[in-house]
Chain A
Amino acid sequence: MLSKRHTDAGLGVLLKATIALTAVFLLLPVVMTVIMSFDSRNYLGQFPPPSLSTQWFTKFAHNGYLWSGLRTSLLLATATTVGATTVGALAALAISRMTAQWRDPVTTAFLSPLVLPGVIIGFALLMAFSALSAVPTFLKMLAGHLLITVPFTIRMTLIGLAGISATLGEAALSLGANERQSFFTIILPLAKNSIAAGAIFAFAFSMDDLTISLFLSDFNTYPLPVALVGLMRSNFDLTLAAAAVFLMGLTVIILIVLDRIFGLERVIGHGIYKA
């Protein structure tokens, strides 16, 4: 009995150590980047910085290359979000009305881009578009981003629709509403939070995509991740740390909005990846 108690006590200590180390491992890089972005030295030196300044943020604010990328990214992510949310919500509506025997294979087919390596999607689109040279770069990237974000909007809308009893829509129909009225007055208001959560996923994943954009962008039209990776490979300085802090701020905003409209705890269990 004594030895069991000893192993259990040892296990408790080990557990606490694992939890603490995991927290440090996950947060340390983020904290380091924030601190280094305020470094007053004008070269990349050893941690910690001897004194603080905001020079790297000024440099980031005046970096036309990065801002041009950010502008393209914001436009692209907005267009992607609108497109993916509409297309995904409509498809989810159709899937939710299917019989069980159709629903599962159709859902699996529509979620398939989630497991495909981004490089393959980018390369395939590049090959397909190489025959159509007249397509503007922005639209090529939009095609790729739609493909990788529609799975999220379909899945999130399906979660929302699953919570709505089918009898509600049927009640509206039996009371004389047509299909469209029942959709806009009953189904849409009830599913809107899930659809909005899907839209946030679409926006975040479009803003973050590097692999697909890398194949499809050009010197004039490139999104922020392509600009960042270019700088990272040519000039690994702290302007990037300032840009990283800016993007972390964006992540925090996305997190707060997601929490308000959907609830972060609901992301678990049936968020993007289902256990």
Chain B
Amino acid sequence: MRHFKSQLLLLLPAAAVYLFFLVLPLWTVIAESFRTFTPGRIGAVAGAPLTVKNYTEFAGPVYATYFGQTYVLAFFASVIAIIIAFPVAYYIAKNASASVRKIWISALVGLMFLSALVRIYAIELTFGSVGILAPFMSFVGVNMNGTAYINIIIIVGLLHYAIPISILIMIGAILNLNPRLTEAAQSLGASAIESHLSVTIPLCIKGIVSAFLVSMTFGVSAFAIPWILGRGRVQFISNIIYSRFSEVSNYPSGAAISIIMLVLSLLMIFIISRIATFFDRT
């Protein structure tokens, strides 16, 4: 019994942090999302009548575009990150010498820790209108202010984080592989590509799904990347929530989008982890 009490005491500070800084604030958001908003005020009046209008206004096609943009761009970035990261991770885990591996891992962990704003600034400087690609782009006739190019730049921004983190996750998965299985497949007549497709990748599927989940979670909650690189032409859900606070002070509407975004994020994580456990079992 004494043991149990001391355990609760140890958990108490953390539980207080989560209760006061997460649970109660989220409860406030839920309550606010059902309040009627009076234009020109900051937030809803206390005791304002309850309404579901804050939710129903997002059923329109305008908002579907924002949700679509967020999920489609995050999905493309995650898929590209996985396709690129897998061979690189395989090379680092299996073929690189100890010193080369150390250099790669240091660089990748460094890129993971790189300040998000430094990353965004560097990408704008490199791929933006003064970047090294600018003369080439104008030569080919690509409009660097067009929405298509802005979408690509946002994917590039997401990839600059998603690729390093995916490589690091997959190195862990590949190091746990038994190399004899792939070798066995190859000695039985499979080509390198066949043996990887039929042996290596299925065995690493859990690592691949984790990397996809982390990239997707990062992508759909991205805020600064679309804010700066999107130049106001392409916006993610995060940016819409922020504009409800900074531009129109319509807190009930911001609260409703936050709840929708939260539910969608949790749903996505639930589905992807289900897929991971499904593969794990087979």
Contacts and interface: CB of A to CB of B under 8 A. Distances in A.
A271 B168 contact: yes
Interface string B72-92: 000000000000100110010
A255 B241 contact: no
B28 A32 contact: no
Contacts of B262: 116-117, 120
Q: How large is the interface on B (under 10, 10 to 19, 20 to 34, 35 or more residues)?
A: 35 or more
A126 interface: yes
A15 B13 contact: no
Majority-rule SS of B interface residues: helix
B225 to A, nearest CB: 11
Contacts of A116: 221, 262, 265
Contacts of A154: 14
Nearest to A6: B191
A28 interface: yes
A32 B132 contact: yes
A229 B117 contact: yes
A65 interface: no
B216 to A, nearest CB: 10
A143 B15 CA distance: 13
A120 B168 contact: no
Interface in B219-269: 220-221, 223-224, 227-228, 238, 241-242, 245, 251, 254-255, 258, 261-262, 265-266, 269
Contact of B21 (A22, A147, A210): A147
Interface in A87-131: 87-88, 90-91, 93-95, 97-98, 109-110, 112-113, 115-121, 123-128, 130-131
Contacts of A270: 172
B192 interface: yes
Contacts of B123: 29
A175 interface: no
B13 A91 contact: yes
A120 B258 contact: yes
Contact of A267 (B109, B111, B126, B173): B109
A211 B224 CA distance: 8
B224 A275 contact: no
B179 interface: no
Interface string A226-263: 00110011001000110010011011101100110000
Contact of A275 (B22, B105, B172, B241): B172
A147 B18 contact: yes
A211 B122 contact: no
A218 interface: no
Contacts of A265: 102, 105
Nearest to B206: A275
A7 B193 contact: yes
Interface stretch (B57-65, B142-150, B159-167): B159-167
B17 A241 contact: no
B118 to A, nearest CB: 4
B121 A240 contact: yes
B114 interface: yes
Contacts of B207: 275
A105 B90 CA distance: 33
A232 B219 CA distance: 21
Contact of A19 (B21, B87, B126, B170): B87
| Max chain A C-beta neighbours (<10 A), residue from B3, B84, B118, B210 | B118
A115 B217 contact: yes
Contacts of A5: 191
A46 B134 contact: yes
Nearest to A124: B25
A204 interface: yes
B113 A255 contact: yes
B228 A11 contact: no
A4 B125 contact: no
B56 interface: no
B238 A18 contact: no
Interface of B: 3, 6-8, 10-11, 13-15, 17-18, 20-22, 24-26, 28-29, 32, 43, 84, 87-88, 91, 102, 105-107, 109-111, 113-127, 130-132, 134-135, 159-160, 163-165, 168-173, 175, 191-193, 206-207, 210-211, 214, 217, 220-221, 223-224, 227-228, 238, 241-242, 245, 251, 254-255, 258, 261-262, 265-266, 269
11 contacts: A90-B10, A120-B258, A124-B29, A144-B21, A147-B22, A208-B116, A251-B115, A259-B106, A267-B105, A273-B165, A275-B211
Pairs A-B, 10 closest by C-beta atoms: A117-B221, A124-B25, A29-B122, A269-B172, A91-B14, A94-B10, A128-B25, A4-B191, A275-B207, A275-B172
